[in-house]
Structure 1
Amino acid sequence: MRWKITGSSVTGRSHADRGETGQDCHRAGCIRIGDNEYFIGLVADGAGSTTHGGQGAELACGCMYDRITNALRVDGDISRIADKEIRGFVTASRDAISAEAEATGKRLKDYACTLLGAVSGQGHTLFFQIGDGAIVVSADGGEYDTIFWPEQGEYANTTSFVSDEQFLEHLGICHRDSTPCEIAIFTDGLQTLALSFAQKKAHPGFFRPLFDALRQHPDGGFLDFSGQLSGFLTRDDVSARSDDDKTLVLAVVTQD
């Protein structure tokens, strides 16, 4: 079993019109341990009301990716990564953000960001999430399942962040003894296109063409397809539905 992956983060029209950079970030890759290959995908969305949310998102993704990679190299088995360890990894990401805030004389909440991730391979998958955005999977390329429904705060357009004081209370963790054939991880800029909030379901028509295109793309074409994905995310009809930053990570299982 092998993974084919791609990902893109694009600046939303609302930021671009103000001359601002985007505040989304993603990290995605595969690591091989012995004969086994594992997919790691992370996305984070800096809070729009912050001054350094994008930096917080980058720090959170980088720290979490390193922690997960190290854990896999030690244990060689996703199922051995306990919930306590995931909470520790997220806490370490928050600590990294806090250290940056202190070093620059900023407040921790100036770096507020969400954090979503998936780790999959060899018959086990681990998911975790703080805040909005979503992780969508398919076992057989048919029905699409949303792991955690996007968390909405008490007021409109609010959610939970890694920087929150009670951040661990809002951390969702899910283990599944299976390897999905398709995984999508995305920030809230794509929620209105990818999800039906009335039915609380993912839209197959949004995901299926993207997964099919990735599966059919030649091996080794990560960068080329990433460019195509960026073009899709910045299309006028997509931007008309959401002017927010958009991040999407896709992964499909292919045969050796």
Structure 2
Amino acid sequence: MADGALVSSSAPVKGEYANETVFLTMEDALAQVEVQAVHQPARALMLMSDGLIRLALKLPDYTPHLPFFQPLVAFAANAGNGEQANNQLADFLASERVSARTDDDKTLVLAVRATGALARPSAALEASAP
């Protein structure tokens, strides 16, 4: 997430079969890695598994869905207690609202620069699911 904008580096890679994965330990893994440089300061970074694509990205062009990302960035920016924040995020990902949209794995990594309060963490989580 750059200054008020979300940047998606690439569309998901579609393999020959469903749930096909390229592991970094595979012989040809580096040939399949995509790298893109973004030359602007980032306020937040998110990595996610494919199970969250239908919630996080607008299809078919794979542009970020702001109502999913913005509350999560606010939550991460205001999370005080690491263990409590991890539990709240796990509860959110396991919630009925999220699980109703995907039956795949739901892994999410959030990294946010400490720049001050954006919103109450609980309100951010409540507002983030579609």
- The alpha carbon displacement at 1:226 in A equals 0.8
Q: 1:167 aligns with which of 10, 29, 48?
A: 29
Partner of 1:197: 59
Between the aligned partners of 2:35 and 2:58, the Cα distance in structure 1 is: 23
Deviation at 1:159, TM superposition (A): 4.4
For the pair 1:139 / 2:2, whether they are aligned, the reply is yes
Q: Is 1:210 equivalent to 2:79 in the alignment?
A: no
> Which one has a larger percent strand, Structure 1 or Structure 2?
1
C-alpha contact (below 8 Å) 2:77/2:115 kept by paired residues: no
Q: Which residue of 1 aligns with 2:96?
A: 236
> 1:25 maps to which residue?
none
Counterparts of 2:30 and 2:46, CA distance in 1: 23
Q: Give the aligned residue type for 1:252.
A: V
Q: Alignment identity in percent?
A: 36
Matches within 5 A, 1:63-78: none
Distance 2:9 2:84 in 1: 29
Q: Provide the C-alpha distance between the structure 2 equivalents of 1:248 and 1:156, rounded to a whole number of angstroms.
A: 20
Change (3 A) 1:157 1:255: closer
2:86 maps to: 226
Higher relative contact order (CA 8 A, sep 6+): 2
Q: Deviations over 1:151-210 (max 9, x none)?
A: 111344434333444222101123334330111111111111111222320110101111
Q: Is the 8 A contact 2:50 2:106 kept in 1?
A: yes
- Structure 2 distance, partners of 1:156, 1:243, is 14
Structure 1 residues 157 and 196, CA gap change in structure 2 (3 angstroms): farther
Alignment of 1:73-84 (within 5 A): none
Please say if residues 182 and 211 of structure 1, whose CA atoms lie closer than 8 Å, have aligned partners that are also in contact.
yes
Find the counterpart in structure 2 of residue 56 from structure 1.
Answer: none
Contact 2:56 2:68 in 1 (8 A): yes
Q: Are positions 1:248 and 2:103 aligned together?
A: no
Query: Residues 239 and 174 of structure 1: is their aligned pair in 2 closer, same or farther, counting only changes over 3 Å?
Result: same
1:33-44 map, 5 Å: none
Partner of 1:145, secondary structure, is coil
In the superposition, relative to structure 1, how do residues 238 and 166 fare at CA in structure 2: closer, same or farther (>3 Å)?
A: same
Give the distance between the partners of 1:185 and 1:168, measured in 2 at CA: 19
TM-score using structure 1 length: 0.41
Alignment check: 8 A CA contact 1:152 1:159 kept: no
Partners of 2:58 and 2:40 in 1: CA distance? 25
Unaligned runs of 5+ in 1: 1-137
What code does the residue aligned with 1:227 have?
Answer: N
